[in-house]
Structure 1
Amino acid sequence: MHGTQIRFQAVVWTFGERDFAALLMDGHSPHEPDALPQAARSRGLPLTTDIRRVPLAPVPGWRIEVTSEETSRGRQTRLTVHWPRVSPLLSHADVDLPQRWQQLAVTQRVGLLLIGSDLVGDRDLPERVTRLAESGSLAAGVVAFRSGSAFQPRTYDRIVGHRRARRPVNR
């Protein structure tokens, strides 16, 4: 996959009545457009021919990890995608994640990972995902999610200097 450019996009994906933090990934290679989905499938991320039937058990060896730290440029959020190889598939990429995505990932401790050709884009996402799945060009699965020690979802604001009052203990 030398020379492959990986693009990604964080979206909230709904199955029935349940929302998931979904991470869409595609790879652009001048020589082999399906290199990334093929590599993902060979590392255990299942081929998906019907997006409505993705198993909800986490895929072993795969994990989405998000860390956040304060820098001189402000808060930097970084995304890493681990797969069953020594080095990560995607390592410490700067990202701005939607608030709802962050909240879902942190509370559910899993994310939905979708890897296909020309998957990332702004329009017609459900149709594009369905088309890739039906053509046998989509690898998808639920994967573990872990947040780094300094990661705080933007939806949980801290109140500086505020302490919760303690109740006296009855003796």
Structure 2
Amino acid sequence: MNGTQIRFQGIVWTFGEREFAALLMDGHSAHGPDALLDVTQSRGLPLTTDIRRVPLALVPGWRIEVTFEDSGHARLSVHWPHVRPLVSHVGVDLPQRWQQLAVTQRAGLLLVGHDLVTDDHYLPERVTRLAESGSLAAGVVAFRSGNRSRPRGRARQAAF
């Protein structure tokens, strides 16, 4: 994924009465607007057409890893079935509730789609629309944390 800019955002996603630590990812690449979506699907993150029906079984080979530093900053890595991580040790601010859910459940919901990371209030509608149009990869993935957290915040981006 050289030359791809990946953006990500940690949010709390609710299915009925159950909350999940969700990591939203989108990418912009010279290879096309759906390059990140295509490559994540080719590595086993399933396409979903209904966000309410994402299987709760862990997607094999995928893992979100966060290490919290003493300063309160977090370093995020996303591992996938490849020799190198998709994202490696990138600084990120994560909501406190996100971290609590991820540590407790030892899993997170990974959502990958085009123009997914946003600060608008229409995120559930955007995710639903992406899923219904066949433009959303989603799955529950393993989570590992280096230590306890104190961070909170919104979106960050990284260039690779």
Q: What is the TM-score normalised by the length of structure 1?
A: 0.85
Which ranges of structure 2 fall in alignment gaps of 5 or more residues? 152-160
Q: Please name the residue that 2:51 is paired with.
A: 51
Tell me the percent identity. 77
Tell me which of 113, 131, 140 is aligned to 2:110: 113
Q: Please name the residue that 2:150 is paired with.
A: 154
**1:9 CA displacement:** 0.3
| Structure with greater strand percent | 2
Which ranges of structure 1 fall in alignment gaps of 5 or more residues? 156-171
**1:154 CA displacement:** 2.5
Residues 71-126 of structure 1: CA deviation (Å, up to 9, x unaligned): xxx33310100000010000001011101001000000000000001000011101
Select the structure with the greater relative contact order (CA < 8 A; seq sep ≥ 6): 2
Q: Does residue 80 of structure 1 match 2:88?
A: no
Q: Which amino acid aligns with 2:63?
A: R
Q: Please name the residue that 2:30 is paired with.
A: 30
Distance (whole Å) between structure 1 residues aligned to residue 19 and residue 123 of structure 2: 16
Residues 105-161 of structure 1: CA deviation (Å, up to 9, x unaligned): 00000000000010000111011101110111100000000011xx21339xxxxxx
Structure number with greater Rg is 1
Q: Please name the residue that 2:134 is paired with.
A: 136
Distance (whole Å) between structure 2 residues aligned to residue 31 and residue 99 of structure 1: 35
**CA RMSD of superposed structures (Å):** 1.2
Distance (whole Å) between structure 1 residues aligned to residue 42 and residue 31 of structure 2: 19
Query: Which runs of at least 4 in structure 1 moved beyond 2 Å after TM superposition?
Result: none
Distance (whole Å) between structure 2 residues aligned to residue 20 and residue 106 of structure 1: 11
The alignment covers a number of residue pairs equal to 150
